[in-house]
């Protein structure tokens, strides 16, 4: 395992570790399925995530297509609106998660991790996976295990299955489409 500090901007290839990260896209749309477990609580949902620079909109729906919640935010303001009309607002994702879910949402890191790269400007450790991409990434207290990759519309390798864990939280993502 190799511990490194990522530079701001693009994430470098790590030839000494045998890991090459995919180029980051400043905007993307990903859709798929997720499951999350926090303590004894668990949830499964379909998701559609639109990421554009610093702005995010994540729609969550039940497996039958009924809206569960919408998370949206940009620097300085994030919100969670549930289907039953409840709304939570905070200055950042961490505070929103702590107040509404009782665990910190890793949205700042997840915008990088879902693309198969570490968050720029923060320390991380990586273990190579098959094919030269990341197999396991550790950053911000999270462990991200990349289980499989697929190519996006531009032909870039992107995670198709990943499992993220944090003390008492497990998040699994299956990404069906990338744009």
CA-closest candidate to residue 105, choices 134, 79, 126: 79
Query: Does the pLDDT at position 29 exceed 90?
Result: yes
Q: For residue 28, name the pLDDT band (cuts at 50, 70, 90).
A: very high
Ramachandran angles phi, psi of 110, nearest 5°: -60, -30
Question: Is the pLDDT assigned to residue 11 strictly greater than 50?
Answer: no
Q: Is the confidence at residue 15, as pLDDT, over 80? A: no
pLDDT of residue 20: 83
- The tens digit of pLDDT for each residue in 67-106 reads 999 999 998 999 999 999 999 999 999 898 888 877 778 8
pLDDT score of 54: 85
Could you tell me which CATH number the domain at 2-178 has? 2.50.20.10
Mean pLDDT of 166-177: 94
What lies within 8 Å, CB to CB, of 8 at 6+ separation is 120, 121
Q: Domains of the chain: which residue ranges?
A: 2-178
pLDDT (0 to 100) of residue 17 = 58
- How crowded is residue 11: how many other Cβ atoms within 10 Å of its Cβ? 22
């Amino acid at each position: 395992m190799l511990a490194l500090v990522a530079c701001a901007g693009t994430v470098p290839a790590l030839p000494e570790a045998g890991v090459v990260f995919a180029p980051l896209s400043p905007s993307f749309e990903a859709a798929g399925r997720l499951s999350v477990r926090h303590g004894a609580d668990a949830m499964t949902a379909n998701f559609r995530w639109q990421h554009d620079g610093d702005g995010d909109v994540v729609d969550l729906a039940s497996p039958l297509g009924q809206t569960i919640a919408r998370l949206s935010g940009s620097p300085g303001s994030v919100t969670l609106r549930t289907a039953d009309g409840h709304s939570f607002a905070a200055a950042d994702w961490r505070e929103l998660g702590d107040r509404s879910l009782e665990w910190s949402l890793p949205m700042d890191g997840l915008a990088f991790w879902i693309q198969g790269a570490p968050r720029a400007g923060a320390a991380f450790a990586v273990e190579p996976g098959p094919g030269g991409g990341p197999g396991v990434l550790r950053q911000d207290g999270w462990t991200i295990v990349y289980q499989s990759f697929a190519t996006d519309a531009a032909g870039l390798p992107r995670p198709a299955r990943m499992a993220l864990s944090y003390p008492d939280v497990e998040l699994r993502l299956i990404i069906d489409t990338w744009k």
